[in-house]
């Protein structure tokens, strides 16, 4: 006949280890969540999370500022519902591709804004996978490259002006 006290003690030790592991996992999860929230608040990029249905569940503070939206304008909505501009809504199509196919998607995204210059983003969308390898949504990271493109265009214009002046100077000098 097994010793009841010994079985109880072994079960107790096993349960104690499980509780310790659970508390450690919970602590790590809380730390990861805290880092995620800090990133969403402080990032200079537009960061967003969409669920498996293509609806926004989170968006960074900077994302709201860039798009000139309030949380109520985007959370729980698809890109087509949140953005009236069809070109802007293409973000949802790319996010859906990431969710359906489980692949990283990269593209340039142009967003028209009323009363402001359009924005251009370099976007990367990563599928979010749970511990059973099921895709549960996607993470969107969009860098505003509008200023860089504007500077490139200005530089190109200046380069053209320099080339024109050089051609005129060559012509005047008889070269």
Over the stretch 124-174, which tens digit does the pLDDT of each residue have? 999 999 989 999 999 999 999 988 877 888 888 888 888 888 888 888 887
Average pLDDT, the chain: 85
Joined together, the tokens standing for residue 82 give 């949140």
Give residue limits of the domains in the chain: 1-42, 44-144, 146-175
| Strand blocks (E) in 114-174 | 116-129, 135-144
Its CATH architecture, for the domain 44-144, is 2-Layer Sandwich (3.30)
Over the stretch 46-105, which tens digit does the pLDDT of each residue have? 999 999 988 999 999 999 988 888 999 999 999 888 887 766 778 888 888 888 888 999
Burial 54-65 (b: 16+ CB within 10 A, else e): bbbebbbebbbe
Do 136 and 128 meet the contact criterion of CB atoms below 8 Å apart? Answer: yes
**Element at 49 (helix H, strand E):** strand 46-51
Whether the full predicted model's pTM is greater than 0.85, yes or no, is no
Joined together, the tokens standing for residue 15 give 């349960």
Over the stretch 114-138, which tens digit does the pLDDT of each residue have? 667 788 899 999 999 998 999 999 9
Whether residue 1 has pLDDT greater than 50: no
Do 62 and 43 meet the contact criterion of CB atoms below 8 Å apart? Answer: yes
Share of the chain above pLDDT 90, in %: 27
Cα–Cα distance for residue pair 158/173, rounded to 1 Å: 22
């Amino acid at each position: 006949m097994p010793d009841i006290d010994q079985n109880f003690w072994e079960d107790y030790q096993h349960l104690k280890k499980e509780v310790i592991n659970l508390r450690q996992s919970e602590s790590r999860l809380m730390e990861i969540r805290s880092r995620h929230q800090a990133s969403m608040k402080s990032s200079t990029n537009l960061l967003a999370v969409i669920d498996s249905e293509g609806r926004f569940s989170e968006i960074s503070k900077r994302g709201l500022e860039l798009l000139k939206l309030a949380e109520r304008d985007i959370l729980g909505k698809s890109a087509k519902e949140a953005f009236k501009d069809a070109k802007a809504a293409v973000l949802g199509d790319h996010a859906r591709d990431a969710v359906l196919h489980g692949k990283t998607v990269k593209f340039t995204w142009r967003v028209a804004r009323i009363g402001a210059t359009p924005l251009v983003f370099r976007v990367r969308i990563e599928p979010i996978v749970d511990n059973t390898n099921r895709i549960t949504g996607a993470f969107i990271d969009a860098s505003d490259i509008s200023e860089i493109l504007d500077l490139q265009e200005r530089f190109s214009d200046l380069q053209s002006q320099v080339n024109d002046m050089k051609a005129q100077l060559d012509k005047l000098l008889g070269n």
